[in-house]
Amino acid sequence: MRYRPFRSTDRTVQPVAARSDRAGALRRTGGYGPSELPNSGRPRPRTARTSREAARLLAFVGCLMLAGCWGGTPTEEVEIGPEDRPRDEFGIPLDAGVTPEARYEVSNLIRAFRDIDPTLTSDHTDRRWWERHDRLANLKNGSVDIGNAALHAWTGTPSEAPYLVRRSLLWVGGHASPEAARELLTRIYLEYGYAPIDDRTEACLVLAETSPERFLEVTEKHLLRHGKRTETLPDEEFMVDGWVAACVELKRSPVPMLAQVATNRALDPAARWSAVKSLRDFEAEPEGLDALQLCLLESSGDGYLRRMAAQSLRDLLPGEEACALFAQVLSNESDLNVRQVLVDMMQDNCRHLDMTEFIDSDSGPAGPLPRIGGESVGADGSGIGEPGDVDGGDGR
């Protein structure tokens, strides 16, 4: 294998056309530069520059050999503190205990997730999307060596680098080398100022999947808070998603925590929405059903939360029990939007009920209620359960 020293530390992205031309030239010449082809004329004169390059290459190879980079499983922990170690152009320290093959795979990962030229046509962007998808899926299941290389690359990647590059390195490093990634991911997730908020959010989700016990330990107090937030952390909806993922990994029920989050008005509304929607994905438990009913009856003005609660109850409760609950709520409901949601749900799921008492109001007929499926419900309840009717009449 022919090793060449890195000749530039410039991290700017080359134009795609220039990279493709270079790649095509290397394919045509077997990986050699135009002036390096075997038997391509007289040999290159040995200059001071080539001597310096040779010395740099020997030093690089020496670092690799001293670090045991030619094989075996690395045992070093990934450094997460400030570093002044010399690095290659992809941010991996030259003396890191990773193999050349791992460096090669991670360098290709970084190249794949760099920004693509926005002037390219859709066929190019489509190929790039699939390349990213396949490469990320393969490397997440790669060796511990590849995971360590990805983590080292993240520590050497500036915050100004493309978000997708940093994100891919965290996911590959966390899944391929979870033991080495645990402390780094915890610090990124919890420590203010150590990384951009986007990276902290990704670290939250990666930690939940790769070290679920640690994630549950450090996240529980944040989801159970009842006062104002005193720390800058990723949005709580991502903590809820992480909690669900961690519980699935550990084969535990996330319902008790989801019930707590769903009824906790101190948390962000998006976190409560996520909890209410997630409850329908697990078996019905008394604690979860009670929380959903409280959300359905809540008078906070959050109509979206109440709608999600109604949908989750529809999916979890037996049909007749859900219809009886919706009828009871609808008979006392004053919010017109929530009334419309409940009427639509009962039309679809409770056709055995007489809807007249729910449509009438003290103020008189309110006009036809539009139905999501394209039908209308007359003010007297006519038209319910008759798919062919448009205005509750004879279908004309």
Q: Report DSSP letters for 81-116, one per residue.
A: S-----B-TTS-BTTSS--HHHHHHHHHHHHHHSPP
37 — pLDDT class (breaks 50, 70, 90): very low
For 177-210, the pLDDT digits (tens) are 999 999 999 999 999 999 999 999 999 999 999 9
Residues 155, 92, 132, 202, Cα dihedral to 10°:
-10
- Residue 353: its pLDDT value, please? 63
pLDDT score of 75: 38
**pLDDT value at 165 more than 70:** yes
Which pLDDT value is given to residue 358? 53
Q: What's residue 390's pLDDT?
A: 36
Token pair 């010395």 is at which residue?
Answer: 55
Q: How far apart, in whole angstroms, are the C-alpha atoms of residue 300 and residue 16?
A: 52
For the segment 115-125, the average pLDDT, to the nearest whole number, is 92
Structure token pair of residue 255: 């319902």
Element (DSSP H or E) covering residue 26: helix 16-28
Q: Is the pTM of this model over 0.85?
A: no
Inform me whether the pLDDT recorded for 356 exceeds 90. no
Segment 46-58 shows an average pLDDT of: 49
Q: In the prediction, which pLDDT does 26 show?
A: 40
Confidence of residue 99 (pLDDT cuts 50, 70, 90): very high
Which among 72-81, 136-145, 323-332 has the top mean pLDDT?
Answer: 136-145
CA–CA separation, 70 vs 44, rounded Å? 30
pLDDT of 81: 43
What pLDDT score does 229 carry? 87
